[in-house]
């Protein structure tokens, strides 16, 4: 029986553990959090941090694994690649995974390889404010302050003038592990939405483009995705630009296989600006949404690829199914105690799956990043106008009630 080591046992990662077991693999899970649900699903569990590279390596070597997967986890993606390289297991180059996972090397890669890229400046939290201001004096407002090693828009602040710079640095520092922060010019959009979603790569070629539009609350949390919808409304020319630039990155970094999360902006000239190209499957259950939209199983595909097995869908014609698919991230802008989720009867027929992370009585925190999500609602609409109507009125159609 083949063995797979899965780095992370959170609620969102359970699907990967279950998929591996369904495929007949022996599952081993590492996670340092004592309340992770994955430990009860896996065949074997280690209470070990997924970012402790040496510890993960020793476990992988002792267990004689056949593959390692950091499903939907940014922090674990690089440790997985490093360990796989050491053991000669299927992996993308660790150096490429590192570039994709850290915003400063990523921006430098884009700049050096002729991709569209805003002005940027890396610094550490102890850098004097006057020095930071001097180094970005030629930047044009607005600009963004962010950690270089975080995902899900955690610790990201947009500034329209110098007011709030110190607070923005403090917030970015709070979510940074490597203590390297970044200031970059805000990209002025031509296309109004962030293009999100995932792609899937096999043998160095993108075999599935799962681009979507990101839904954001432009009043309360403009930088944090609260949903993604498919199909995206980009035209064929824009789509061709996006596809070409994505494949150019994959080729330049010698990415061999796997699902990757995308966040892209198009400027007024339709230049493709990469916000992120995460070296792992997207969070907020994006692989499940795309599986629904294409009639395939991307979770199993991730597991198979990590073992070195060609995913089932790769040699088959894959076409988007009829209608519009989207997910909505449950969240609260108040701290308190979770009560329930209230879904308006007018949209109940569009909801086909509910995944709630909290139970009544659980404590919840203010939504300031993907890690504070309370659950995911999956919706399918027959017509795009129905989906757009929901997106305009989501705050009244789906409510999180506190006790």
CATH class of the domain whose range is 322-402: alpha beta
> Is 160 in a helix, a strand, or coil?
coil
Nearest to 249 by CA among 94, 85, 96: 96
Token reading at 354? 């509910």
The pLDDT value recorded for residue 152 is 65
- CATH superfamily, region 118-183: ATP-grasp fold, A domain (3.30.1490.20)
Beta strands in 272-389 (DSSP E): 272-278, 324-330, 336-343, 351-356, 363-364, 375-381
Pick the CATH number of 187-320 from 3.30.470.20, 3.90.79.10, 3.40.1190.20, 2.40.30.10: 3.30.470.20
pTM of the model: 0.90
pLDDT tens digits along 240-289: 999 999 999 999 999 999 999 999 999 999 999 999 999 999 999 999 99
The pLDDT value recorded for residue 217 is 86
The domains of the chain are located at 1-90, 118-183, 187-320, 322-402
The pLDDT value recorded for residue 195 is 97
CATH topology match: 187-320 vs 322-402: yes
Residues 283, 288, 294, 297, CA torsion sign: positive
pLDDT higher than threshold 90 for residue 115? yes
pLDDT tens digits along 297-342: 999 999 999 999 999 999 999 999 999 999 999 999 999 999 999 9
Length of the chain: 403
pLDDT tens digits along 29-44: 999 999 999 999 999 9
Neighbouring C-beta atoms of residue 99, cutoff 10 Å: 23
What is the architecture, at CATH level 2, of domain 1-90? 3-Layer(aba) Sandwich (3.40)
């Amino acid at each position: 029986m083949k063995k797979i080591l899965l780095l992370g046992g959170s609620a969102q990662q359970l699907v990967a553990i279950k998929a591996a077991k369904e495929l007949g693999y022996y599952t081993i899970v590492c996670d340092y959090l004592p309340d992770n649900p994955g430990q009860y699903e896996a065949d074997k569990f280690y209470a070990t941090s997924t970012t402790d590279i040496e510890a993960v390596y020793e476990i992988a070597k002792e267990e004689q694994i056949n593959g390692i997967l950091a499903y939907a986890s940014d922090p674990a993606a690089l440790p997985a690649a490093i360990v796989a390289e050491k053991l000669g297991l299927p992996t993308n180059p660790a150096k490429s995974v590192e570039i994709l996972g850290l915003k400063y090397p990523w921006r430098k890669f884009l700049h050096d390889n002729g991709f569209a890229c805003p002005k940027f400046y890396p610094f550490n939290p102890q850098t004097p404010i006057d020095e930071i201001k001097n180094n970005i004096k030629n930047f044009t407002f607005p600009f963004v302050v962010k950690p270089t090693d975080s995902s899900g828009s955690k610790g990201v602040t947009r500034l329209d003038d110098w007011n709030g710079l110190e607070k923005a640095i403090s917030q970015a520092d709070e979510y940074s592990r490597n203590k390297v922060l970044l200031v970059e010019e805000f990209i002025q959009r031509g296309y109004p939405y962030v293009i999100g979603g995932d792609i899937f790569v096999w043998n160095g070629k993108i075999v599935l483009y799962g681009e979507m539009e990101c839904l954001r609350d432009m009043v309360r949390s403009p930088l944090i995705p609260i949903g993604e919808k498919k199909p995206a409304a980009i035209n064929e020319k824009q789509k061709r630009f996006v596809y070409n630039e994505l494949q150019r990155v994959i080729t330049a970094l010698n990415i061999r296989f796997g699902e990757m999360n995308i966040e892209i902006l198009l400027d007024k000239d339709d230049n493709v600006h990469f916000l992120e190209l995460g070296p792992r499957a997207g969070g907020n259950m994006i692989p499940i949404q795309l599986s629904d939209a294409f009639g395939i199983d991307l979770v199993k595909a991730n597991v198979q690829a990590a073992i070195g097995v060609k995913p089932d869908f790769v040699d088959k014609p894959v076409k988007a199914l009829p209608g519009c698919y989207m997910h909505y991230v449950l969240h609260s802008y108040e701290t308190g105690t979770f009560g329930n989720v209230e879904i308006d009867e007018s949209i109940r027929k569009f909801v086909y799956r509910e995944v709630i992370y909290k139970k009544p009585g659980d404590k919840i925190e203010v939504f300031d990043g993907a890690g504070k999500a309370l659950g995911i609602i999956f919706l399918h609409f027959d017509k795009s106008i129905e989906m757009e109507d929901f997106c305009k009125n989501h705050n009244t159609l789906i409510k999180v009630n506190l006790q």
